[in-house]
A and B are shown apart, each in its own frame.
Chain A
Amino acid sequence: GQQLNQSPQSMFIQEGEDVSMNCTSSSIFNTWLWYKQDPGEGPVLLIALYKAGELTSNGRLTAQFGITRKDSFLNISASIPSDVGIYFCAGRSTGANSKLTFGKGITLSVRP
């Protein structure tokens, strides 16, 4: 089945630093999404991308939909302690509202 690859499993950065994480797939996706999950909570949608090459920002977050439609990246600028959490990429290959395929997630730690 389809799989999304996220690596490394964990990232450790200093407060104020920028961090970039990417997600790759062996299959084409029509939509790429980035979610953040805090302990004991459900994933929260950060950014959605709908077109190859699209670059979208949400505050300090910027994400891009790869031209090949097989990858996406998320950049967090000027990190703060509340950025700590697990970041998941998700892709959708068919129509709106259809199932999402998730990566395994990257755990981000921010040192003050």
Chain B
Amino acid sequence: DAGVTQSPTHLIKTRGQQVTLRCSPKSGHDTVSWYQQALGQGPQFIFQYYEEEERQRGNFPDRFSGHQFPNYSSELNVNALLLGDSALYLCASSGVGLREQYFGPGTRLTVT
């Protein structure tokens, strides 16, 4: 049974560019949450998707957007990248009747 998977593993982008990160939840999970983890910090909640809709959102600008597909996988899009967007982006999945979130390995984004 595969856990949460994320792609790509690493990504280097230039300031001003746009990026799309992908996440496949654990089998049986229908809810996907995205977190940003800056170096030396704990993860910060970006938003959560359930039934293809954004259900909750953290304190992140509109440059951060997402999508959830019918198969429950999800994308995180970041527009107009800033140097400060460099971080590890984590996806966590959970499901009905499951109280806890399980994290993927993350995508390391570097903005130069």
- Measured CB to CB, the residues of A under 8 A from B are 1, 4, 31, 33, 35, 40-45, 48, 50, 88, 90, 96-105
- Pair B45/A42 contact, Cβ less than 8 Å: no
Contact of A98 among B41, B44, B56, B106 (CB under 8 A): B56
**Chain A residues near B95 (CB-CB < 8 A):** 97
Write out the residue numbers on chain B whose beta carbons fall within 8 Å of the beta carbon of A40.
105
CA distance A96 to B80 in the complex (A): 33
Question: Given A40-B105, A102-B44, is A97 in contact with B90 using a C-beta cutoff of 8 Å?
Answer: no
Given that A40-B105, A42-B105, A43-B90 are known contacts, is A101 also in contact with B45, CB under 8 Å in the complex? yes
Chain B residue nearest to A48 in the complex (CB): B100
Contacting pair B99 A99 (CB below 8 A)? no
Given contacts A42-B103, A43-B43, A100-B101, contact A1 B90 (CB under 8 A): no
B104 within 8 A of A: yes
**A42–B90 touching, CB < 8 Å:** yes
Q: Is B94 an interface residue (CB 8 A)?
A: yes
Q: Do the beta carbons of A96 and B45 come within 8 Å of each other?
A: no
A96 to B101 alpha-carbon distance, docked (Å):
9
**Contacting pair A45 B100 (CB below 8 A):** yes
B59 at the interface (CB under 8 A from A): yes
CA distance A50 to B99 in the complex (A): 10
The closest CB in chain A to the CB of B101 belongs to A100
In the bound complex, residues from chain B placing their C-beta under 8 Å from that of A104 are 40-42
